[in-house]
Every structure is written in structure tokens, then in C-alpha cells.
Structure 1
Amino acid sequence: MRVVVLTGAGISAESGLATFRGAGGLWEGHAVEDVATPEAFARDPALVHRFYDMRRPRAKSAQPNAVHRALARLREVHDLTLVTQNVDDLHDRGGANDVIHMHGRLDGALCAGCGHRWPAPESLAGLLCPARGAKEARPDIVWFGEMPYEMDRILAALEACDVFAAIGTSGQVYPAAGFGRIAAQAGAHTVELNLDRSAISRDFHEHRIGPATETVPAWVEELSARA
């Protein structure tokens, strides 16, 4: 069975990481426009670096939970394409292989000039690109207004899958919010696993409401039994 899974901030929250936006539309006390756009980085790179430097050790100290481990098991029995909107590495440390980090990774650095990527140190402020020596290092994060990574591969998987699941996502950030509709139109069975119905619940045939650490392992067991 060909399965595509999209995960969002809800599963990282169950490992203790803050969700994308909290009360008042702020992201850990910052307006998104101040820390998560190319324009913000051009305007105040020091602020953007401080923001991601703060988030990087938090993500590193968080531990994979039952959702990450269950999805790693799912790959053992089905043809799984695992796509995450999260920028932590919890899926990878939870045992999953070949995870598509469509919004980039906190533990990565990117040269804004030449596109070279390398592992991020504790702080990127003032860091030179090791490939060209230019002082253009930025977090390897897809910001608002930028194209997510590996979209061709994601769309191909959505159009060919038998089952699509969205787990812990708000359904408010595109293009990921459109994945359920694409998969459903291609003939896949679509399921949403979330604390509440999302803004795109209409795109799903099935809804499983509750903490992901409870609903996802049970769903994976059901799918595994159909292998």
C-alpha cells in the first residue's frame, strides 16, 4: 500500500516544543513578519539569528514520542512517503528514514548567495559560507514567500498514493493545506488525525480526534494489519 503522511506542529507539541503560533498570532513572542520572511532577514538579520539560535537547542533537547516511533514502524510494512512541516529532527531520531523536510531544518545552515548547505553550529550570526567565504549564512528554513522543498516529489507521491493522512496540522499553511484535496481527487482515502477538526476537514473522508500519541499508534496498527 502506498501511504503519504503529512505531519505538523501538533506532534512536536507532544514532545514539548511550542506550536507554530500561540495566542495573538505570535510565534514565541515574535510576529511572523519579524522572524520568518526573507524581508525580515534582510532588515534585521541579528534578530532572526537570535530567534533561531534560541529554538535550535530546544529542538535538540526534545525527544521523539509515540507518534514518531509509530510512523517509523509504518515504513517497515508499507510504501511510506513521510512529509513534515516541522523543522525539528524528531522523525529522524525516532527511526524514520528519508523524511521530506518540506520547510527545512533547524539544524541546517544555508548560504543565501550560492545555496550551499551544511550542519548549523549553535549560532549562525556572522558565519561565513564554507563554500565561497561569503557572509551570507542563514537558517536552512523555508520562510513565508519561499517555495517549500521537494514539491515535485511530494506531488507525485500524493497523486499515486492509496492513503493520505494529515497529523497534527492546522490546515492554514499552503501548499501543505491543499495536500488532502489533491490526494482525494486522485482517488486516495484521506484521514485527518488531530486534536480538533482543522480548517480543511472537508477534504478528508475520515477524522480521528484526540492526542496524536494515542490516535496515531492505533491507526498505524490498523494499517499494519492490512499489509
Structure 2
Amino acid sequence: MDSVNTELAGLEQVIKRLQQAKRVLFITGAGISADSGLPTYRGIGGLYNDQHTDEGMPIEVALSGEVMRRTPGVTWKYLAQIEAACRAARPNAAHEAIAHLQQHCPVTVLTQNIDGFHHRAGSEDVIEIHGNLFDLYCPRCGHEETVADYSGLTELPPPCPQCSHWLRPRVVLFNEMLPEKALAHLYATTEEGYDVVFSIGTTSVFPYIAHPFVRARHIGALSVEINPAETQVSDSAHLRWRCGAATALTCLMTGLKM
């Protein structure tokens, strides 16, 4: 524990603020699921790195709204690869710690991840700003359904049971707009305020991810970044913990005696 604590400068300060907090905001990216065995899409251990797909296009093109509309089978192929990685994994100690903190104070989670792990771990107030792989809908008739995984999908893209068009996951593909409901939830949370905000496992390249963290200094909230590497918001953090999410949050929960 002592060796871990040396990485977590200001741990006692964070514990004290959490004990007094009326609301806590967690902002999470792919890095929080790394301890679940999920690869990030690029970088070290990435699912795709800088390689093109079998179709000779960058992964950002294959996973774009335009390709989904034009050739949905191509986009579904790579969505299924992502889902296969999720299926073999489960929420880790970091997801569970965040959910457990709900017993102490209101917690909101803003996540870019589409793996559904925060919900599975028990978090209740989750803003899935990029959607969820397991919520399917028909772009033509609006039919909706939720699946546990893709093992029961015998065709890709799967046909809509109502109109025989094809279904797609309710996720934000490249060059698509963010969901209005999730954005409204984010704006309301930001406006309501929070006493502590964590940025975990995200490079925060998107303004809507960076803004709530950067805003902490303007509203008197404590900002803590948990990420092994420097990011777009590192300079705005009051505290920077250069370790993995599961390690940091397990130590934090031990300190809180939860």
C-alpha cells in the first residue's frame, strides 16, 4: 500500500473532499476498461493500431455513419469484432468502485465507452455519450431491442423483425451527431455542478469530454486525473495520478473505508 500511495499524491485530500461531496463526476474513456482486458482501438495493444481494414480503408472510415448507410455489412463486421472483445471481459475493480461510491453520495458517470460496463457494475446515473453496443434499433421503422451479446445474431447486419430492413447498434459512429438526450443530460449535470471530478483513462481530445474537467477550477471543484500518460487536460488537473484506474480507485476506496 505504501508503494501505491507514493503514486497517489494528495490521496488524503481527495478522501476528505469525497467525504464532504454532494456530487461527484467521473469522466471515463477506454483506459478504464484496460484492466478488464479490453484493448484500446489504437496505440499500444490497440485493436487496429495504424493498419487499414481488410477493405483497404482506415478503421475510422469503416466505422463511419456513411459506410454504415451505404454498406452496413462492412461496419457491422468491425462492430462485431469490438463486441467479441467485450464479450470475453467483465467490469473490473475500477467500475465497481465507482458504482460502490453511490452509497456515499450522488455519482454521475460520463463515459465514451460503448461496452456497457458501468451499467453492469451497478452505476445508475450514466451518460453514455457515444451510445451502447447492445442497444439495437431499426433506422427505418424505429424498432428497438436490447441484446446481451451478438452470439444470437445469425446475420450481419441483422434484419429488423418488423420491417425487414437492417438493425444497427445505438452507437455514435464517426461523422455522426451526438445523441440529444445524452447531451441534455451532460449539460444538466455540468450546470448543476460537482465537488470532485475524475478524468480516467481518456486523452480528452473531444471538447465535450474536456470541458467538464477543465471547468472544475472555475466552480471550486477538485479535479483528479488518473492516466499513465499526459493528456489534453493534464495541465488543468489539481492532482495527476500516473497509474491504472483499478489500482488508483481500489486504494481510494480503501482510504474511504468503503
TM-score category of the 2 structures, normalised to the smaller one: 0.7 to 0.9
Query: After superposition, where does 1:39-188 map in structure 2 within 5 Å?
Result: 39-120=66-147, 121-122=150-151, 123=153, 125-130=156-161, 132-149=162-179, 150-159=182-191, 160-188=193-221
* Matched AA of 1:173: F
- Kept in 2, the 8 Å contact 1:193–1:216? The answer is no
Show structure 1 runs of 5+ residues with no match. Answer: none
Matching residue of 1:199: 232
- Distance 1:113-1:177 versus aligned 2 partners, 3 A rule: farther
Q: Which has the higher strand share?
A: 1
1:177 Cα deviation from its structure 2 partner: 2.6
1:34 to 61, 75, 82: 61
RMSD of aligned residue pairs (Cα, Å): 2.4
1:20 aligns with 2:52: no
Distance in 2, Cα, partners of 1:115 & 1:174: 30
- Kept in 1, the 8 Å contact 2:141–2:163? The answer is no
Greater gyration radius: 2
Deviations along 1:77-125, whole A, 9 cap, x unmatched?
0110112111112222223223222111111212223544311443462
Equivalent residue pairs, number: 223
Secondary structure of 1:178's partner?
A: helix
Secondary structure of 1:175's partner?
A: helix
Secondary structure of 2:240's partner?
A: strand
Question: Per chain length, whose mean CA-contact separation is higher, i.e. which structure has more relative contact order (CA < 8 Å, sep 6+)?
Answer: 2
* Matched AA of 1:8: G
Secondary structure of 1:82's partner?
A: strand
- Distance 1:133-1:156 versus aligned 2 partners, 3 A rule: same
Which 10-residue stretch deviates more, 9-18 or 154-163?
154-163
1:59 Cα deviation from its structure 2 partner: 0.6
Distance in 2, Cα, partners of 1:211 & 1:50: 31
- Distance 1:21-1:110 versus aligned 2 partners, 3 A rule: farther
- Kept in 2, the 8 Å contact 1:4–1:158? The answer is no
Deviations along 1:108-151, whole A, 9 cap, x unmatched?
21222354431144346243334x51514112111223333411
Distance in 2, Cα, partners of 1:14 & 1:171: 19
* Matched AA of 2:75: V
Secondary structure of 1:197's partner?
A: coil
Which 10-residue stretch deviates more, 94-103 or 45-54?
94-103
Displaced runs of 4 or more, over 4 A: none
Distance in 2, Cα, partners of 1:22 & 1:142: 21
Matching residue of 1:214: 247
- Kept in 1, the 8 Å contact 2:42–2:48? The answer is yes
Distance in 2, Cα, partners of 1:92 & 1:5: 14
Distance in 2, Cα, partners of 1:45 & 1:147: 18
- Distance 1:35-1:187 versus aligned 2 partners, 3 A rule: farther
Distance in 2, Cα, partners of 1:184 & 1:116: 43
Q: TM-score, normalised by structure 1?
A: 0.86
Show structure 2 runs of 5+ residues with no match. Answer: 1-21
1:54 Cα deviation from its structure 2 partner: 2.1
